[in-house]
């Protein structure tokens, strides 16, 4: 839902099933370094832990981490997805095309499932995005449509 200021948007997921499946969205196998931080009170000033994605989609990601998160946990994710910001509107984005910080995408996500990873060295975590800036969500959708047509 868009706020009055237009800054954030909650993602509407299908009501029939909270799980993100291949039938509901296209997943792209892609390894991206992300920073994961559990959102809980009291809020911590410490930085999050680093993890690697296994696949990404418009509505969520799967990543591997050392920490076992539980279904329902709320996480803040900082992801560096090269090139996605080029789909954002605005002169600042065009002018800052070479700035690496522009590739950072921050989202709030809910853990949908967690399981021991295949190599038994960590956990595979599946999350859905529950809060993303409106402009970022539009740019991310355009990025995915571009990536899918290139394949």
Q: What is the CATH number of domain 28-146?
A: 2.40.10.220
Residues sharing a CB contact under 8 Å with residue 145, sequence separation 6 or more, in sequence order: none
Three-class DSSP labels, 37-54: EECCCCCCCCCCEEEEEE
CA distances from 16 to 10, 61, 105, 141 (A): 17, 20, 28, 23
- Over its length of 151 residues, how does the chain's per-residue pLDDT go in tens digits? 444 444 444 444 433 334 444 446 677 788 888 999 999 888 778 888 999 999 888 889 999 999 999 999 999 999 887 766 666 665 455 455 544 455 788 899 999 999 999 888 899 999 999 998 888 888 888 877 777 666 5
Bridge partners, 104 (sequence order): 80
Tokens matching residue 120: 């038994």
pTM, full prediction? 0.72
């Amino acid at each position: 839902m868009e706020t009055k200021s237009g800054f954030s948007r909650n993602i509407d997921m299908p009501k029939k099933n909270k799980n993100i499946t291949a039938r509901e969205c296209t997943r792209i196998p892609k390894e991206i370094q992300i920073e994961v931080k559990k959102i809980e009170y009291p809020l911590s000033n410490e930085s999050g832990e680093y993890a690697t994605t296994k696949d990404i989609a418009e509505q969520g990601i799967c990543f591997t981490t050392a920490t076992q998160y539980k279904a329902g946990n709320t996480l803040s994710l900082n992801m560096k997805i090269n090139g996605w910001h080029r789909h954002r509107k605005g002169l600042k984005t065009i002018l800052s095309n070479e700035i690496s910080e522009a590739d950072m995408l921050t989202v709030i996500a809910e853990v949908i499932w967690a399981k021991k990873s295949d190599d038994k060295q960590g956990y595979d975590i599946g999350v859905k995005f529950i809060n993303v800036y409106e402009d970022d969500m539009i740019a991310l959708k355009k990025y995915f449509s571009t990536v899918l047509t290139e394949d």
